[in-house]
Structures are given as C-alpha cells and as structure tokens.
Amino acid sequence: MPSHQEARQVVAQAVAQVLGKAPTLAQVQAVQAVCYLETKYGTAVPPAGVGSNNWGNYHWVEGSKNGRATGYYDGADATSDGKGYAQKFRTYATPVDGVADVAGHLNGSGALAAAIDPGTVWAVATAMRKGRYYGDQRTPDEPQIERYGGALESIVREIDRVCADGGKGLSLARPASAGNALLWLALAGGASWMLVQSTKGGGRW
C-alpha cells in the first residue's frame, strides 16, 4: 500500500487536474481521506482488482461514461442488507486517473467547496451525503453522516500527522450534531449540491 506521503503526491496532482488550478490543503486532505477510506489507496480490492487503480471503488456501469476508466474487472458487492451480487468495477490506466474520478465526484457534489467554506470534515461528509456518495438512501441522513464523517475524521487526523500538515487543512470541529451540518452547510452556502445522478458505487460520477 502506498504511504500517506506517496498517496499525497498522486492526490494533489489529480485534484489540480480536476480543478484546473492548485488545490488547497483542505481539498487535498478531503480527497485523500476518501481514497483511503474506500480502498486504502486502491489496495483493499480482490485479486482481480489488483492494479486497477480504482481508488474510489467505483462500479463499471454498462452504457455509462464511467469517468476516466479504460475498462473493468469482475468482482462482487453487497446491498445494504448484506445480500451479495456480481459487479464489475472500473479499471484505470494510472492512479492519477482513478483519483481524478474521486475528485471530480466530490467537486460535483460540492464537497471540495465545502472543504474551503466552512472547511470542516463534517461539511465535506454532509456534502457527500447530499451528493448520494455513500449510505443507503432510504435511511435518515444524520446517522449516515455521523458514521462516514467519524471515519473521515479519524483518517484526516492520521494523514495530518503523518504528512506533517500541522493542522492547517480540514478542521475537525464538530457541529452540535453531525446531522445539523446539513443546515449549517446550507446556510454557509458552501456547496451547490449539483451532481450527476448517482447511487452507491454504481452511479458515482
């Protein structure tokens, strides 16, 4: 598995490519944390997925654009109630291409804007939830944000320490409740919520 420092170089390049300009540290941390949480930088995949460069664990959907993917490998996934099913997953020519799809999805959902204003892990998690990046869409938002935001918080804390970011990236400050981040972020105007239709894995950007 790439180290956090090695992954930082890949992520920074991919986010800059998507934004068309140098990203902020908070934006890079946001994408890096998601890539680690989803696949441990492309390594938490089945044998068929080794070398796929699919850092976002994105499904391959027949008839869709499938982002920057060049093909797919055959794997398996599970529904929210634990029922398994066969599923194709995207493959990419390079790690940067794979991460660029993650960055593009987060940018479309408003999560990269939220990384700047209000600039917290919880704002990012909220924007991602509103963009349907994670969680069962049939369940309430608050527990989903609490779960995913809590995982991101732990990872960002580790990345900040290992990469010697000095706490200058994403804030770990929590709202009164994670669910209140929905209202908080809307009031802050930090995200547009515009995103291509998506579902867990299969319809991601």
State the Cα–Cα distance between residues 133 and 104, nearest whole angstrom.
12
Look at 113 and 178; give whichever has higher pLDDT: 113
pLDDT at 136: 83
pLDDT at 191: 35
pLDDT at 177: 53
Task: Return the residue matching tokens 């946001």.
Answer: 30
- Mean pLDDT over each residue of the chain, to the nearest integer: 87
pLDDT at 135: 85
- In the DSSP assignment, the letter for residue 178 is G
Task: Read off the pLDDT of each residue in 10-39 and give the average, rounded to a whole number.
Answer: 98
State the Cα–Cα distance between residues 39 and 80, nearest whole angstrom.
18
Question: Rounded to the nearest 5 degrees, what angle is found at the Cα of 111, between the Cα atoms of 43 and 162?
Answer: 50
Contacts 24+ apart (CB under 8 A), 44-51: 45/75, 45/89, 46/75, 46/76, 48/73, 48/74, 48/75, 49/73, 49/75, 49/89, 49/91, 51/91
State the Cα–Cα distance between residues 173 and 184, nearest whole angstrom.
13
Task: Read off the pLDDT of each residue in 87-107 and give the average, rounded to a whole number.
Answer: 97
**42-84 pLDDT per residue, tens:** 999 999 999 999 999 999 999 999 999 999 999 999 877 788 9
Residue 137 has pLDDT above 60, yes or no: yes
Kindly report the pTM of this predicted structure.
0.85
User: What tokens appear for 8 in the block?
Assistant: 């930082």
State the Cα–Cα distance between residues 41 and 37, nearest whole angstrom.
8
Task: Read off the pLDDT of each residue in 172-195 and give the average, rounded to a whole number.
Answer: 49
* Under 8 Å between Cβ of 135 and 120: no
Task: Find the DSSP H helices in the chain.
Answer: 4-19, 25-39, 95-109, 111-114, 121-130, 141-162, 181-188
- In the DSSP assignment, the letter for residue 120 is B
Q: Is the dihedral of CA 189, 137, 41, 178 positive or negative?
A: positive
Task: Read off the pLDDT of each residue in 95-107 and give the average, rounded to a whole number.
Answer: 97
Judged by DSSP in three states, 31 sits in helix
How far is C-alpha 10 from the geometric centre of its chain's CA atoms?
14
Confidence class for position 156, pLDDT limits 50, 70, 90: very high
